[in-house]
Structure 1
């Protein structure tokens, strides 16, 4: 799986993992039913703590993008390829960008509202 962590990014590593898996599912690289690597294996490959990857998987599961099937592992759900996921990824990208630019949350929201009304 093509995931890399940017240690200089203001985005926490677990969020980088979560966003990348969500993006891979959204663009079809990870089809519904694709088994994800075990948490420990992916953590080792990425040089991260096991709990970091576990948190990414947990948040993906809470969002309905993956499903954990016990010993059978964690798999991508059909929901992960939907349009709402693309909107979530776009929103997360916007948040990352505005944070990196130092834009306060209220201003970022006002920019979105103005764009939606235009």
Structure 2
């Protein structure tokens, strides 16, 4: 992982570990971080972001639980192969993701139009 890719807003109502998890998950699922790319160590990323190592470790654990990264002793933490896409997305999972996004966006002060614009912009990327 080259350069500062993850940013944490300490004034945000979203916990720092969740900001890290969400940003890395987005980078992985969009292909910006390809399979096999090595992530910084927990300690290194924590130092780079000015956070406690436990905060980064929690984000990494959640990413590992979601099968987005793999940690191997001696090989470090790397982006895992993405699961094969399914033809029909699970409506319940989509609703859960949408609700989480809207909740976090509203926590940042975004109104309906801003949330919709953000979704449209993300779809157009």
Deviating 4+ runs (over 6 angstroms): none
Matched, 1:94 2:102: yes
Is contact 1:43-1:49 (8 Å) kept? yes
Is contact 1:25-1:80 (8 Å) kept? no
Return 5+ residue gaps in structure 1 as ranges. 102-118
Q: TM-score normalised to the size of structure 1? A: 0.72
Q: TM-score normalised to the size of structure 2? A: 0.68
Which one of 38, 41, 50 corresponds to residue 41 of structure 2? 38
Aligned pairs for 1:20-59 (under 5 A) are 20-59=23-62
Which one of 5, 8, 13 corresponds to residue 10 of structure 1? 13
Q: Deviations over 1:9-35 (max 9, x none)?
A: 110000000001001112211001111
C-alpha RMSD of matched pairs (Å):
2.4
Distance change (3 Å), C-alpha of 1:80 and 1:26: farther
Is contact 1:66-1:80 (8 Å) kept? no
Is contact 1:26-1:81 (8 Å) kept? no
Distance change (3 Å), C-alpha of 1:72 and 1:62: same
Return 5+ residue gaps in structure 2 as ranges. 110-125
Is contact 1:35-1:76 (8 Å) kept? yes
